[in-house]
A and B are shown apart, each in its own frame.
Chain A
Amino acid sequence: MATTATAHQTKWWSGGKSPFNMEYGKLMMWYFLMSDAFTFGAFLISYGSIRFSQNFWPDPNVVFNAFPGAGHANLPLAFVSVMTFILIISSVTMVLAVHAGHKGDKQGVIKWLAWTIVGGLAFLGCQAWEWHHLITGEHAVLVDGQIDIIGQTTGGNPWGDLVSHDAALAALQKTPHETLISLAHQSNHALTHEQLAAMTDQQLIKEIKLDELHIREKGPIAFGGYFYGITGFHGFHVFSGVIINIVMLLMTKKNVFQNRGHYLMIEKAGLYWHFVDLVWVFVFLCFYLI
């Protein structure tokens, strides 16, 4: 066996050995990732298909412009770039963990795996914040001739086309009292809820700074479903990747791989983790950039 392998002209396909010089587990992981790429591909392509079937699609820079702690400042793409960098860096630490594994350096594996797990958790935290912000966001939207306040959910999308000043003014006249109060509150934080509640509709409308509210029409409903569906599915992958990495960390600590003589499992976990990063690159492209 060894003699055939050391021959200069290796006959990779003649049987008795792996044609790719790769053990079956890694091979299966690669092909699994490929099939998973088709799952994600199908999601993203469906999203593309629906997007192309719409006359209007929101500009991502308008949708994703918030940053934790920055209030209402307009910071398009800032937060998502932080998320992207977290994932890239965690991919780098994973590379280092795999490399440490090749050298049989247990402490190195532990150190870098731990950092990878931290990165994964940080990413999940960011995603949770982003989802929460989008779902609970309060956006003034023109619906059926009156103003409504909605967040970004699977059933509604507040990012339609901007409404003209006159149309918005007309809509305010028909808008219910409670909605006017919240709108006025958004424009003028100095007044308390009680003070606002005491005002009449017309007084409230005067308080509302229409130009700052950016009242929009309803956007395509499908946006929410795809955004939450695909980033959620990606988040699920990150989550399972973190779980896998934690298991790997525990196994490393218990010397399972050292006793086995190789750290190939770390390599396979690494492949999965990089794949998660790879998918994010495309999610980032499809939802945030174009």
Chain B
Amino acid sequence: MSEAMNVHSGVAAAHAVHHDDHGHHHHEQSFISKYVFSMDHKTIGKQFLITGMVWAIIGGLFSVLFRLQLGYPDQSFPILETFFGNWAKGGQIQPEFYYGLVTMHGTVLVFFVLTAGLSGTFANLLIPLQIGARDMASPFLNMLSYWFFFIAGIVMLASIFVHTGPASGGWTMYPPLSALRQAGEGQKIGTDLWLISMALFIVSSLLGGLNYISTILNMRTKGMSMTRLPLPIWAMFFTAVLGVLSFPVLLSGAILLLFDRNLGTSFYLSDIVINGEILPNEGGSAILYQHLFWFLGHPEVYIILLPAMGMVSEILSVNSRKPIFGYMAMLGSLFAIAILAFLVWAHHMFVTGLNPFLGSVFVLLTLLIAVPSAIKVFNWLTTLWRGNIRFTPATLFAIGFVSLFISGGLTGIFLGNSTIDIHLHDTMFVVAHFHIVMGVASFFGMFAGVYHWFPKMFGRYLNNTLGYMHFWVTMIGAYLIFWPMHYQGLAGIPRRYLDKKGWVSFNQFGELDKMITVVSIIVFAVQLMFVFNFFYSIFKGRKVTTPNPWGANTLEWTTKINPGHGNWEGEIPEVHRWPYDYGKDGREFIPQTEPVGANESKH
């Protein structure tokens, strides 16, 4: 620990002066301070990634379980009873269990996997490496950020194992359902644990976000002006800003909900009769919670998506051997998205009893997001256009991201119109929309990042063949799973229902549901194959032999293949140019560290 502290003070004290100290400390680090309570941003990034993967398996498994129910509502699966006992009596998933599964699937994937697992991993890994810093501004708070996330995870995990089951009010945890213990098994201790876990998670995300912002602002190496930052860094920057400004609002909402549950206040409750009992609560408003929740919830969507966008921009440019098209337009659209993210939250609430005129203002603001999104899409496409593309698994996933972002983004325009939303709200159409645009697309960004930066993380490559299989099955599978849901939604099938046999008209979708379930099992299995690939390659993967295997310009490739704490052995390199000089003046790539030549053309 004390060694780590020394390294830290060295990092904070001087970029240049103490650099020769770093070599010495590493031999002395104990296992605990090197791998467990590590303050090295790269190790913390890996911790986030691996924890995120564990959560992704849990969350993904949950979705497979409730897909079984949706695809085969009458079938009995005795093995489920073996594992889950009363929750799956007679091999059939019970309603309470189903709601718990759906809630946990959403919570885990949105917060633990795609927020912490995605931006936690890559912000930690890439920010210091790409801006040329020895570590985060405060490695100690960075470590705390991970461990708060870890504890939040433990609390959430514990809630799955309590007798009354996990929270089951949906990942949005709307009151009055979530505020009343009498409302169901999942509304008992499970919901309290959910709220506590979220509070811890918010602390973690704040610690992380503050660190990312101050690191990017303060710790850039010489010559690394803001407009020379690689796009992933800009994306992480806006992500952190979104998190720092919006998570506190969720914290407020969660605290008020905790009070309503435990202290008899009436923030969200009014005029409630439950099980024949008239509750004394009066004057609260359930819509208020939705406002507070979505004030975070909408920026949260971009917290998930922006890092993926940034990484995809970088990977597409590197692998098509062309400069990113419209660097400043990319920045501008990131900025516009970040601002608009805060102004549109109530488009999730068109049918709650929101004032319709206010709703129309939200429609207008929502549709504005299409502009920066389209700019980004066209920039990615034009970056690829006539490029000398290397179809690595990372590139494929990046291209897949663009495809999913387009298909999912277009359905967003449907839902953003309040009139169309009256028909589509809370149907499978919504499920299809956000899974494609936010869920799977961000996962693709994450996979692209893992394949691309795996050599930097572990000094080895992931297996390519498995990577290609992973890509194609996931890509085709994602469309097979979510595309049909649009039709179901347009036909009016509601989401969150465990059994729709009551509607004769929906019986025609029975076979479709079976198909979706089968594909989701296959896709889940392929993700397990990726996890195998990941861990296998850490130890047995093909070794990286050159510091810059992708021929990329950014600073992380100027470090050793396995950089130690402090990243650069000598002085931190100085930066002389933007990061996207590919295919310029007859040269394939020109690293950022290379001074601009006298006869060089302008970019």
Contact = CB atoms under 8 A, between A and B. Distances in A.
Q: Do chains A and B touch in the complex (CB under 8 A)?
A: yes
Interface of A: 1, 11, 13-16, 18-20, 22-25, 27-28, 31-32, 34-36, 38-39, 41-43, 46, 49-50, 53-54, 154-155, 220-222, 224-226, 229, 233
Interface string B229-264: 000000000000000111111011101100100011
Nearest to A222: B283
Q: Which of A11, A18, A224 has the most CB of B within 10 A?
A: A18
Given A31-B214, A39-B248, 7 more contacts: A15-B224, A16-B222, A28-B137, A35-B210, A50-B285, A221-B280, A222-B284
Contacts of A225: 256, 259, 263, 265-267
Nearest to A219: B283
A53 B288 CA distance: 10
Chain B interface size, under 10 / 10 to 19 / 20 to 34 / 35 or more: 35 or more
A221 B252 contact: no
Contacts of B244: 31, 34-35
A240 to B, nearest CB: 14
B164 interface: no
Interface string B275-302: 0000011111100100110010000000
Interface in B341-381: none
Nearest to A157: B283
Contacts, number: 139
B223 interface: yes
Q: Which 7 A-B pairs have the closest CB atoms?
A: A225-B265, A16-B222, A42-B252, A15-B224, A24-B137, A39-B248, A15-B220
A35 B215 contact: no
A50 B267 CA distance: 8
Contacts of B110: none
A46 B292 contact: yes
A48 to B, nearest CB: 10
A187 to B, nearest CB: 29
B267 A38 contact: no
B223 A16 contact: yes
Interface of B: 12, 15-16, 131-132, 137-138, 141, 206, 209-211, 213-215, 217-226, 228, 244-249, 251-253, 255-256, 259, 263-267, 280-285, 288, 291-292, 295, 575
A24 B218 contact: yes
A187 B342 CA distance: 55
A41 B284 CA distance: 18
A221 to B, nearest CB: 5
Contacts of A34: 244-245
Contacts of B291: 46, 49
Contacts of B284: 50, 222
Contacts of A11: 225
B265 A224 contact: yes
A18 B251 contact: no
A16 B221 CA distance: 5
Contacts of A229: 255-256, 259, 265, 267
B252 A43 contact: yes
Nearest to B244: A35
